[in-house]
Amino acid sequence: MRDRILKDQEFQLPVSRIFIAASLLVALLLDWLPWQGMWLAFRPDFVALVLLYWCTHKPYHVGISIAWAVGILADVADASLFGQHALAYSVLAFSGIVLHRRVSMFNLYQQTLQVFPLLLLAYTVYAAVYWQLRGSISWEYFIGSVVSTLLWAPVTILLQALCRPRAATDQL
Amino acid sequence: MEQNQPLRFFNRGPSPAVRLVFFVLLSLLLLFVDVRYRYLESIRSGLSVLLYPLQRLVTAPSKLWHEVDDFFVSHNSLIRDNAELRNQHTLDIAQLLQLQVLKAENQHLRNLLMVQQRADYPMQLAEIMYVERDIFNRKILLDKGTQANVLAGQIVMDDSGIVGQVTRVYPWMSEITLITDKDHAVPVQVLRNGLRAVVSGSGDTGELALRYIPISSDIQNGDVLVTSGIDGTYPPGLPVAKVIHVERDPAYPFAHILCAPIAGVDKRRQLLILSALPKLPERPEVVVETTTDKPKNGKRGGR
């Protein structure tokens, strides 16, 4: 485990588009769980995390257009304004793509620190749009960006484990 | 970015920066259109139909949990609840009997005064599908939509008072803005003395604010606010909130008044949608004013 955390690069199967789509769908479903009360403030943005993962690890498979489309779906389900999530996710995907070489250089601990500003940026964009249109802002919303950042390492390990070639297939 | 330029052997389409600008502009355009106009509602409801099964799927575990929870309610608590409800029922029946008499009397008096009748409002029961996960929006989604003749603007209440208003309708769902939402306002009247005011949400689930009430006005702790009905959207006489805090600081022209919603705004699972709006959508607003003014004048004349 420790080995995996320290070394991000390893041999992986080529990811299929279906796997990417499925991971994004699962992230959307996780976001749509009925979060309530205090949990709502701590709710991490799984979609942002998974998008950022794909943008940094497979920048040619997942780009800003996919991020935008996923954002529109999130907008409809959340009944937020059209384009609010889409804008935040586009910015997030762009920053992920621009910094993908830099992020992949580091191990997971360092990556977490690298990822935090990106997620914070996406959260800020979302909150800023709301603030511009409605004139109010609730600060506990930003707790979510910290929780999301803490989940970066588990999500990365999970997605990489799913992409790793299975030992059994080698022996056959 | 510039370092990448000479290494581009494959055509991968426009650069990320160009794409970002394009999609940011597209999002901003959508935002602008969504805020200013209502053109996108059909797209939104179309997409929501696609997403509806997924949303149902996601809420299934919590629903199952609630059902299991209900199943294992202890015998004692059921008996206790039953006794309580029976008591309440007998009390209510006594009051209901009086209500019938009062209603008839009211109708008679209104006939005599030639004042418009108060209509009864049919309701339908709906269940909360899920609460909005957006921390900025105080909204809930109910499981009845245009298929059940829900219209935007209808009032949602529970057994004790007003909860919110339908703001957007999808085929099988409707979106309710709670009275505690920051942008939401309800025209009310103080039950004790008939003082009219507008109570608006504070963005916090347990609080409402009465704004722009002069310091000298007669409002006390514990006053009950009911809908005044003069806006033509809310039927009159439904309980909304109770005053919990009044602060009169002479430095400010207005008193600082906080209220707590009477209805369980964030507690219940089943809610009632008042299905008939008091026939106002068709009428122009000027007519509304005159019709609602008449009863007031009539009353005054009668006294």
For residue B271, how far is the Cα from the chain centroid? 11
Q: Which residues 16-35 in chain B show a CB within 8 A of chain A?
A: 16-17, 19-20, 23-24, 26-31, 33-35
pLDDT tens for B245-267 read 898 888 888 888 999 988 877 67
pLDDT of residue A42: 83
Contact across the interface for B35 and A29, Cβ inside 8 Å: no
- Residues A17, A118: contact at Cβ < 8 Å? no
Q: B40 and chain A: CB distance < 8 Å anywhere?
A: yes
pLDDT > 70 in chain B, percent: 82
Contact across the interface for B139 and A35, Cβ inside 8 Å: no
pLDDT of residue B300: 41
Tokens of residue B32, six digits: 């602008």
Q: Which residues 139-168 in chain B show a CB within 8 A of chain A?
A: 139, 141, 168
pLDDT of residue A22: 92
Q: What is the mean pLDDT of chain B?
A: 80
Contacts A–B by Cβ distance under 8 A: 122
Per-position b or e across A78-114, b if 16+ CB within 10 A of its CB: bbbbbbbbbbbbbbbbbbbbbbbeebeeeebeebbeb
Question: How far away is chain B from the Cα of A2, in angstroms, using its nearest Cα?
Answer: 33
Q: What is the ipTM of this complex?
A: 0.80
pLDDT tens for A76-95 read 877 778 888 999 999 999 99
pLDDT tens for A152-172 read 999 999 988 888 776 655 554
Residues in Cβ contact with A4 at an 8 Å cutoff, skipping those fewer than 6 apart? A10, A157, A160
Q: With a threshold of 0.80, does the pTM exceed it? A: no
Helices marked H in A33-107: 37-42, 46-57, 64-78, 84-98, 100-105
- Name the DSSP letter for residue A20: H
Query: In a mutagenesis test of the B interface, which of A61, A64, A78 is the best target, namely the one with the most B β-carbons within 10 Å?
Result: A64
pLDDT > 90 in chain B, percent: 9
Contact across the interface for B135 and A141, Cβ inside 8 Å: yes
Q: What is the mean pLDDT of chain A?
A: 84
pLDDT tens for B95-133 read 888 888 888 888 888 877 776 655 567 788 888 877 766
